[in-house]
Structure formats: C-alpha cells, structure tokens
Amino acid sequence: MKLKVHPDAVRNAIESERFQGAQPLRGSLVDPYLGFVRQTLEQHPRLLATRIYVMIRARGYSGSIVQLRRAVARLRPQKHEPFLQLQTFPREQGQVE
C-alpha cells in the first residue's frame, strides 16, 4: 500500500525516537536576572538594553550584552499600533479610481 509520503519523511519519523533521550538545553547566564529585567521593563518599558546591562552588571551578571539584548527583545512589551482601524458599514463609503 502506498502512503504517498516521501521516504525521507518516513525515515525521519522513525528515527525521531533517538532524539527522545537528548539532553535538555542548558540555561543562559541571563536566566537568574530575568525576573529583575521583566520587572524593570514593566516599570520602564522604553528603557534601553544597555542601561539594563549596566544595572545587572552591578548585581553580578557576567554575560555579554548580546545575550541580554536577545532576552530584552523577548521580554519587552509589544508596541501597539498608534492608530485606530477605520471600520465602516457596507455602502457607507465609496471609492472610485
């Protein structure tokens, strides 16, 4: 019986069991400071990552600014669109080219 599935897809599905015992990802140097970073961003959402870097560096952070910038990008509150969506009823507005 043909499954109409590429042989590589079947092979990958069968061999996926060997990844079950894989070691979990190790933590980042930023992980112990994420609570502080999250709290700081809630109070000051526009605070730059370089300023947060100086703040946690004083608390003992020994990682790089790049790791911190990635964490800040994930934790920073999302920006909302600065405009309202215009909604009209059918035949309320006409457009002509």
Q: 5 in a domain, yes or no?
A: no
For residue 40, pLDDT beyond 60? yes
Question: How far apart, in Å, are the Cα atoms of 80 and each of 10, 40, 51, 69, 87?
Answer: 43, 19, 23, 21, 18
- Which of 6-10, 28-32, 71-75, 83-87 shows the lowest per-residue confidence on average (mean pLDDT)? 83-87
28-42: average pLDDT: 93
pTM of the model: 0.58
* Residue 17 lies inside a defined structural domain of this protein: no
Residue 94, domain member (yes or no): no
Count of the separate structural domains present in the chain? 1
Domain that holds residue 66: 27-77
Residue 22 has pLDDT above 90, yes or no: no
Taking 70 as the threshold, does the pLDDT of residue 45 lie above it? yes
The dihedral through the CA atoms of 57, 59, 63, 68 has a sign that is negative
Q: 70 lies in a domain?
A: yes
What is the SS3 assignment for the chain?
CCCCCCHHHHHHHHHHHHHCCCCCCCCCCCHHHHHHHHHHHHHCCCCCHHHHHHHHHCCCCCCCHHHHHHHHHHHCCCCCCCCCCCCCCCCCCCCCC
